[in-house]
Structure 1
Amino acid sequence: MEESAAARRPVRVLVADDEAMVRAGVRAILARDERAEVVAEAADGHEAVELTRRHRPDVVLLDIRMPGLDGLAAAVRIHRVQPTAGVIMLTTFGEDAFISRALEEGASGFLLKADDPRELLHGVQAVGAGGAYLSPRVAARVIAGLRAHRAARPHRPLGHLTPRERDVLAGLGAGLSNAEIGARLHLVEGTVKAHVSAVLAKLGARNRVEAAITAHEAGLVPPMNPEGNR
């Protein structure tokens, strides 16, 4: 099948960080991948929202800590002006509390600024395709935090999922889009979408990222080796 023009188009990225050196570094990393294009840079949350409105990016990379309007508040406004944009939060060690809040605001990905640059490339492509992406080190920290939260409330185990739903959950854990999950499981995209909805409902997950975390926690996603491959 001939690849569509939309599929060939680079993922349009907006980079928001109050440190010019960080923005330059992210731009340089993304320049290595012809499948990504930085369309704008913002130095604070207010500017990120305005540039999202103007440039309509596919992915917005948001630093959590920014002056004026921080990344969490900016994520809320960005989803209002560009609902289809995927938000990836850039975090540092010691900001675990912000990660759970970002989940509530609908973030689609989490990366540590200290991660291997390849994680940034993988994350942008996964979120740009409509999936979710967790840096392995972020995933471990989020899982640890969620365990304590889940212990305080009942939740349905994976035994309530059908074998096909478990396969779909594994795809969510790998950060795949509905189309990519369909290709892996030989299902049409509409069927995958129905399975995703069922999985989220059965798990009590608010979004794809929470489902992806559950997949990691349940061991459905192979761990990454030091080279960044599964």
Structure 2
Amino acid sequence: MPTLLIADDHPLFRAALRSAAAEAAPDVATCEAETLDGVLQRLEADDAIDLVLLDLHMPGNHGLAGLAAIRAQYPAVAVVLVSANEDPQVVRRALDHGVAGYIPKSASLDELRDAIRTVLACEQWLPPALRAAVARAQSAPGDADLAARLASLTPQQFRVLSLVAEGLLNKQIADRLDVQERTVKAHMSAIFEKLGARNRTHAGVILRGLEISDPAQHVAR
């Protein structure tokens, strides 16, 4: 039985995705989260989750950073991004960072069902109206290399990197993760080497480079 995590802060859209999932795969089990922290907690608690439908701009997630976090910490879990952003360049970046599909919030119920069915069959899905434009879109310089470098981080190293990007110091990170400060320093050394970062500020800038502005932040998504 496939298990799907619907991650979106809008109840009505979660309901639409839940309905589409039930019709696409009658034996599917679903669970939900409203924030990126909630997504990561769900994944930590339930190793049976096969697929995450992740809102590109839900609370705690500002673009591709949430995707990178899931890919680094739970590499066996497939991720489909869901967004009102239909910029082919954004879709291209998402693909370069390992997304299994991209669903615009303008998608019809038939398209939602098709997307879920396709990804559960281990195939990639893109909206038909965007496929040609995405195929023409150029990858952002260094994105594929960055995706590989981020994927090389261990789950704990990625957690440390995320906290560095938030501006926390080593002692604060150690307290947050309940580890020794020397352990954090060891993780930082590995992060610098794997990312080619000069220092903690540079490492944080690299991760924040995955942020994508929300074109609908002043209107309802």
TM-score by length of 2: 0.56
Structure 1 regions of 5+ residues with no counterpart? 1-8, 153-230
Alignment correspondent of 1:123 = 115
Which of 95, 100, 109 is the matching residue for 1:103? Answer: 95
Instruction: Spell out, residue by residue over 1:148-188, the C-alpha distance to the aligned partner (whole angstroms, 9 max, x if none).
Output: x69x9xxxxxxxxxxxxxxxxxxxxxxxxxxxxxxxxxxxx
SS in 2 for 1:32: helix
Alignment correspondent of 2:44 = 53
- The 3 A distance-change label for structure 1 pair 92 and 41 is same
Residue 81 of structure 1 and its aligned partner are, at CA, apart by 2.9
Alignment correspondent of 2:33 = 42
Alignment correspondent of 2:160 = none
| Distance in 1 (alpha carbons) for counterparts of 2:103 and 2:27 | 17
| Distance in 2 (alpha carbons) for counterparts of 1:96 and 1:73 | 18
CA contact (8 A) 2:8 2:35 kept: yes
SS in 2 for 1:100: helix
| Distance in 1 (alpha carbons) for counterparts of 2:29 and 2:130 | 24
- The 3 A distance-change label for structure 1 pair 34 and 99 is closer
Alignment correspondent of 1:19 = 10
The one-letter code of the counterpart of 2:111 is E
- The 3 A distance-change label for structure 1 pair 131 and 34 is closer
- The 3 A distance-change label for structure 1 pair 33 and 129 is closer
Instruction: Spell out, residue by residue over 1:1-30, the C-alpha distance to the aligned partner (whole angstroms, 9 max, x if none).
Output: xxxxxxxx3x21111112122112211222
SS in 1 for 2:137: helix
Alignment correspondent of 2:20 = 29
Alignment correspondent of 1:87 = 79
| Distance in 2 (alpha carbons) for counterparts of 1:79 and 1:41 | 18
The one-letter code of the counterpart of 2:10 is E
Q: How many residues align?
A: 140
| Greater RCO (Cα-Cα under 8 Å, separation 6 or more) | 2
Identical aligned pairs, as a percentage?
Answer: 27
CA contact (8 A) 1:71 1:89 kept: no
Residue 94 of structure 1 and its aligned partner are, at CA, apart by 4.5
Would you say 1:72 and 2:64 are equivalent positions? Answer: yes
The one-letter code of the counterpart of 1:139 is R
SS in 2 for 1:23: helix
TM-score by length of 1: 0.54
- The 3 A distance-change label for structure 1 pair 145 and 107 is same
* Moved segments of 4+, more than 4 Å: none
Residue 138 of structure 1 and its aligned partner are, at CA, apart by 2.8
Q: In the TM superposition, what are the counterparts of 1:131-170 in structure 2 within 5 Å?
A: 131-146=123-138
